[in-house]
Amino acid sequence: MANSTVVKTSPAVTSGNMAILAPVVGWLVPGGGHLIQKKWGRGALLFVSITAMFFIGLAMQGHIYKPNGGDILDMLGFVGDLGAGVLYFLARSMDWGVNAVAHATGDYGTKFIIVAGLLNIVSIADAHHIAIGKKP
């Protein structure tokens, strides 16, 4: 009986790289972590919903938080905003959302922007779970 060795390509090599790449791309571009894994429906839905929520919040004159070490609620708002990835950096570079919130609509807009970032963080975790094989 001859010994034969079968060399299989390990899926862990590709999923290991994807487990790092998908969350990074997913943070930068909402839904991008799903799109690079060929989850077209999820990726498109996440991109449209997160981007729409972010821009609706800006249209409602919502506030974009800046990094600071002051009030805990400002720090949490910054983390939520930063979760939107490139949308946050675009808004900061264009000076969108810098006005003080003067009415209730602006306060709701601020919450829309924060929730868009938090939804993107959840989608990053989802893309990571898909990449490591925990979710189809």
| Token pair of 2 as six digits | 């001859």
pLDDT tens series, the chain, 136 aa:
566 665 454 444 356 899 999 999 999 999 999 999 999 999 999 999 999 999 999 999 999 999 887 889 899 999 999 999 999 999 999 999 988 778 888 899 999 999 999 999 999 999 999 999 998 8
What is the C-alpha to C-alpha distance for residues 123 and 92, in angstroms, rounded to an integer?
Answer: 22
Residue ranges of domains in the chain? 12-132
What is the C-alpha to C-alpha distance for residues 102 and 104, in angstroms, rounded to an integer?
Answer: 7
The SS3 assignment for 13 reads helix
The pTM for the full model equals 0.85
What is the C-alpha to C-alpha distance for residues 1 and 43, in angstroms, rounded to an integer?
Answer: 51
Q: How many residues does the chain have?
A: 136
pLDDT for the residue 10: 45
pLDDT for the residue 106: 84
Q: Measuring CA to CA, how many Å separate 35 from each of 16, 96, 119?
A: 17, 28, 16
pLDDT for the residue 6: 54
pLDDT for the residue 101: 79
Q: What are phi and psi of 98, to 5 degrees?
A: -95, -15
pLDDT for the residue 2: 61
The SS3 assignment for 39 reads coil
Tokens 């498109």, residue?
A: 44
